[in-house]
A and B are shown apart, each in its own frame.
Chain A
Amino acid sequence: MATITATARKPAPPGILTHRAVRKLLILALAAAVLAPIAATQWPGATWPTALTVDVSEPLGKASDWIIDNRDTHPLFLYFFGHVSNIVVIAVRAVYLALLAVGWAGVTAIGALVAWRVAGVRLAAGTAAAFLACGLLGMWVPTMQTLALMVVAVLASVAVGALLGLAAGLSDRMDRVLRPVLDTMQVLPAFAYLLPVVLVFGIGVPAAVLATVVYAAPPMARLTSLGLRGADREVLEAVESLGTTARQRLLTARIPLARKELLLGVNQTIMMALSMAVIASVIGAGGLGDRVYQALASVDVGAALAAGIPIVLLAVVLDRVTGAAGERLGESGKSPVTWLYALVVAAAVALAGRLAGFLDWPDGWDLNIAEPVNRAVDWMTAHLYSGVPVVGGTADWAAHFTSWVLNPLREGLQWLPWWSVLLIVAALAWLIGTWRTALTAVLAMAAIGVLGVWNPSLDTLSQVLAAVAVTLVVGFATGIAAARSDRFERLLRPVLDVFQTMPQFVYLIPVVALFGVGRAPAVAAAVVYALPAVVRITAQGLRQVDPAAMESARSLGATSGQQLRQVQLPLARPALLLAANQGVVLVLAVVIIGGLVGGGALGYQVVFGLAQGDLATGLVAGAAIVCLGLMLDRVTQPTERRTTKKGA
């Protein structure tokens, strides 16, 4: 996926650092000494005091009723949302009809030729193979539906993101205003805001596209702004000296100079939109995601996988092609004539396919992978679930993990007095960031209390902490191994790709089959999902450690273990922190989906809200998740962080 370059942190002398940390802690301790006794006497008990909560269920219920009653008559819906919804439907329909009209042969040919022109022969072959595989799996039509939805959603996200990025890149004030907005958009787990979108737009494609835009636009905005701001000063000055207007400078210098970032933004947007494709199936988006979700309902892992593989293939192909396009940007010598040839060839193939009747994917050409996959899963769960000699079965591990880790963690957190939780959050966030980040984190945590979901939130938090701990241990270990062995890294890459792009819904059933219903499978699914990002960032951070430092360590006779511990790891600290931060955000997103497999807490409440159309329960839980995400993000966010991408 995208490369993340962690900015090297200027090593501060340790004396000052600890000094500052001590001072921060002292201030906090002082504040605590004054405020804690008041809080403790005023509102005794560990959980958030009911006196400090606001019950929003009634206004939310009323709002929900109002929307339902006025959706067909109120001008806001008739003249605004209705048109937005119509435009989305028309756009998706146009793309879908075009894809169907071109036929499977045509789509494959066009895909391959575009890949060939922007990324070379190998990727062209890969693209063609990927499309054919989608057909072979019997998923041609759903793939086209997803593709149509993706085209529209990505275009909209890119447009919205680029506009926001342009504003933030050109104006410092806009940048200051937009940064927290984008931050928030990025830590929102998508599951949390499906409900309000559905309420306004109803289930279906428009709601799905809009939810996707919210989710996928921020990286584009961020990278656009970054690109504009990063433009080479000297070039800009040179252009300015030519007497250009501001608009000319923007169009002829700044935007072209930011091409790489822009393309990376498009790449990120595509990735995130695809990962949303499946989550959006919960609100009736159709396409591949819907097939995955329906297969889940009949406990059919094989069928879910058959629909999940095309998503992975689309993701990998789109990622590689846009990535290659970014790398080749600087190269010259591409004449438009070859593009023309490519287009003519594609049109010819599409036409030939049409004339030969190759429009619908032929019925007989299906590969049934569902059966063998299901057999494999059955075998695995039958043999691993319990009674494995010596190590016990996965069910036993899950039970132990639940009673030895998750339960004590949850009870511990819920036992802590509420004000002490706020203090801990403040201390952690302040130590790693500024007082602003600390304030945001504390306010977010307090908002959870005010919303009246303190206990379920701490339950979710305990799951997140457990999952993050496992993810970091496994992820750092694998990342270190990958950084030290090229071969291992090459072997790992496709595995990570699959883990990262495979819809989480596909492995919800296997994790239940292995770990039983409860919080343990939710944690397991979260670990699987968050691991790739942590491994990647760790490996990359370690590899980017200054070779000179490594060389000098080696010349001093340090063993490879010493090199790792004393040179590489300390120097890669920013990357490791970033990995932790990404791990936390990704884990939270899946722990929520864990509500579908017995994870309970906030995730269950969101699912409940969606299933019962209960805005009060769903939205409050969703807001709490967002607050939890903000808090966790701030607590783990190194101050210098500039660019991060969810799903990176």
Chain B
Amino acid sequence: MRLRPRIRTTSALAGVAALTLLTGCGAADMTKQASPYANAQGARTVTLSVQSWVGAQANVAVAQYLLEHELGYRVDTVQVDEVPAWDALSQGRVDAILEDWGHPEQEQRYVQDKKTIAPGGDLGVTGHIGWFVPTYFAKKHPDVTNWKNLNKYADLLRTAESGGKGQLLDGSPSYVTNDKALVKNLDLDYQVVFAGSEAAQITQMQQFAKERKPFLSYWYTPQWLMEKVPMTEVKLPPYEEGCDADPEKVACAYPVTPLQKYLNAGFAKDGGKAAEFLKRFTWTTEDQNQVSLMIAQQKMRPEEAAKKWVDGHESVWKKWLP
């Protein structure tokens, strides 16, 4: 009988000890964890997210170059798709997204409700998604540029992958697309083939262009490939506000999107010069395309391309510096 209370006290003590140990360790804030590679050599670090398309790389390359050479920051880049990038942004894993194509759900969740992400203003570039055919093909068959005539050309656009139908080449799964619904609702004799990544899609389009074969592809502007493989847009039923509200019933074109920047809320407030700089960063489609072409077509390293652009456009970026 004498043993029992002692056991109880020891176990109670152990429990208390465990609890104090736990609380002593304190809460680990999952929202404030930077990369282990950040600030490695004592420099202030900014972490930028890069999306898989080259335009996004161009933004980041120029921002990185200026942050490093004009403002003395160290810049880490993380390659991540848009939606996970929003998540990473809210957790502070990255400090900024420089080019967002419109994600109303994420905006509602993180900007409006949780307030962990702050808008960073316009990038200055306007994005547009659409269906494109190569211009050499459009010149030969001018009426292909209207969706109403697309079924006539399904045979020409057939590939092994699309089975008996015409192929509509789609790209990365991270892109905003209604193409499957569009094909169905517009009654088109086409099969959407997902290239799975923009790299695969570009490679395929370049191969087609090399042989001057016709193709029909989901594509967007601004995009450097346009300079290399000129493309003409196929007219879809015009976009009206709200016509894409129900993803199942979409039967209209894609909207024109002024691309946005977003910053982590904490960073936007306390990020000092870097945050100020990123908020002021705006440039034009032509500027972005110049850098993109250097990266993707001339295979320059992003930092070299950025340097070349920066050297020639002082008047543009001087305004961004805080």
Contact = CB atoms under 8 A, between A and B. Distances in A.
A367 to B, nearest CB: 13
Contacts of B194: 598, 600, 604
Interface in A82-134: 82-83, 85-86, 89-90, 92-93, 96-97, 100
B159 A399 contact: yes
Interface string A369-406: 01100100000011001100000000100111011000
A399 B83 contact: no
Nearest to A149: B36
A284 interface: yes
Contacts, number: 215
Nearest to A72: B31
B173 interface: yes
Interface in A277-316: 281, 283-284, 286, 290, 293-294, 296-300, 302-303
A81 B30 contact: yes
Contact of A281 (B28, B79, B295, B301): B79
Interface string A514-531: 001111110000000000
A517 B199 contact: no
Contacts of B199: 296-299, 508-509, 512, 596
B299 A202 contact: no
A599 to B, nearest CB: 7
With a 10 A CB-CB cut-off, give which of A86, A508, A608, A612 has the most chain B CB atoms.
Answer: A612
Interface residues of B, number: 61
Interface stretch (B5-13, B52-60, B261-269, B307-315): B52-60
A202 B93 contact: yes
Given A300-B299, A517-B169, A608-B173, A599 B79 contact: no
A622 to B, nearest CB: 14
B84 A596 contact: no
B173 A604 contact: yes
A402 B82 CA distance: 32
B296 to A, nearest CB: 5
Nearest to B194: A604
Given A77-B30, A204-B33, A374-B299, A294 B197 contact: no
B22 interface: yes
Interface residues of A, number: 80
Contacts of B202: 299
B83 A598 contact: no
Contacts of A300: 296, 299
B154 to A, nearest CB: 17
B135 interface: no
A613 interface: yes
A516 B37 contact: no
Nearest to B29: A82
Contacts of A72: 29-31
A517 B81 contact: no
Given A81-B30, A86-B28, A204 B160 contact: no
With a 10 A CB-CB cut-off, give which of A294, A513, A604, A611 has the most chain B CB atoms.
Answer: A611
Nearest to A618: B173
Contacts of A461: none
Interface of A: 68, 71-72, 77-79, 81-83, 85-86, 89-90, 92-93, 96-97, 100, 145, 148, 198, 201-206, 281, 283-284, 286, 290, 293-294, 296-300, 302-303, 370-371, 374, 381-382, 385-386, 395, 398-400, 402-403, 407, 508-509, 512-513, 516-521, 594-600, 603-604, 607-608, 610-613
20 contacts: A77-B30, A78-B28, A85-B30, A96-B40, A298-B295, A298-B299, A299-B203, A399-B160, A403-B160, A407-B160, A407-B163, A508-B200, A509-B199, A513-B207, A518-B159, A607-B196, A611-B81, A612-B173, A613-B83, A613-B86
